[in-house]
A = this chain, B = another copy of it.
């Protein structure tokens, strides 16, 4: 499929007629990764998996990826190569080819961006903003506390995403990168959407990392599960989805607002997840 890879002005692919999905994500030192702690290989892997996870969120298969790296001057060629090898490893695990790249050096920390090109797997990509009142809400795994390490090592949910796209009952889907409380409103539609949701607090799967973090900082583990970012699990709205790998957490409502139900008491769930401030 790759006719010309890295080395020319542009890479050249054979692309079958149909849909092309494309997106870009960044990994910045001090924001998404910490180069003092994380190896360049782990950084390249995470940067790539972040973009591949967007494919999962659409129910599509990643086909090709391009990586751009702004490298701190003096980091050395091996450091740059390790980033590439990490990207390569993450991409290869999903049968995705790295087809292009750009490296440049500058006097500041590492900034990596990865563009992914995907193909729709089933009937079509699964979008956001297309949920329906009465839809059940699901997540693909337990949430919270990824900062303890999982944010570097997660595996994008490509296979599950593709299986879900092939299931007619899925109406809307995305990956959770900024935390459930911030991403759920995005699943329901652009600001001003007529839809809302009720989340059953007892049903939210809490990761053991969230519990560990709770022991350290005294905040309830549920809060970590609801608000922490970088879970990279799928968030799905649909009907008739009792499927291995999915955990039901609530339902879509015909009235705006996200409601959290705790022991029969209903409160508004405020988005506290990760937000970039410009």
Which residues from chain A sit less than 8 Å from chain B, CB to CB? 3-4, 7-26, 28-32, 54-55, 57-58, 60, 64, 66-68, 70-71, 73-77, 79-80, 99-109, 111, 113, 115-118, 120, 125, 127-129, 174-175, 190, 276-278
Contacts and interface: CB of A to CB of B under 8 A. Distances in A.
B276 A103 contact: yes
B9 A117 contact: no
Name which of A23, A57, A74, A277 has the most chain B CB atoms within 10 A of its CB. A23
A261 B54 CA distance: 54
Contact of A12 (B7, B20, B30, B101): B20
Interface residues of A: mostly helix, strand, loop or mixed? strand
Contacts of A25: 68, 102
Given A22-B66, A73-B277, A106 B10 contact: no
A24 B67 contact: yes
Nearest to A177: B9
A9 B165 CA distance: 14
